[in-house]
Amino acid sequence: MGEIVNLRQARKRRKRDETERSAAESRARSSLSKAAKTIERTDRARREALLDGAALDRRHQGEVEEPQHLVAGEPEKSPRNAPEASQEAST
């Protein structure tokens, strides 16, 4: 049989571990010199720019047109949106 686990205590333990990990990251970050912080900031900005440039979804850049049914503002005709179609089918 498995061990009985108190969920309240498990949640508290997980939160303590998370807080400790966050505190360790903060201690490590605050102990860096100004030059090291600047290097870290520029590296992070460079990585984010690289990821943003490699994005597959380029609608925001105007390269891909929106599907016509989304642009027109009129919902697509479907059995759910067309009650007259369901009435015609039942008669």
pLDDT digits (tens, 9 = 90+) for 20-64: 999 999 888 888 888 988 998 999 999 998 888 777 765 655 555
In a domain, 75, yes or no: no
Write down the pTM of the prediction.
0.35
Identify whether 15 is part of a domain. Answer: yes
As a whole number of angstroms, the distance between CA 22 and CA 27 comes to 9
Tell me whether residue 43 is in a domain: yes
Classify residue 16: in a domain, yes or no: yes
For the chain, the domain total comes to 1
Average pLDDT over residues 70-90: 54
Range of the domain at 55: 7-65
pLDDT in tens, 17-26: 999 999 999 8
In a domain, 50, yes or no: yes
Residue 48 burial by CB count (10 A; 0-12/13-18/19+): exposed, middle or buried? Answer: exposed
pLDDT at position 59 is 60
Specify the residue for token string 């016509």: 68
**Dihedral through CA 69, CA 73, CA 74, CA 78, nearest 10?**
50
Is residue 77 one of the residues assigned to a domain? Answer: no
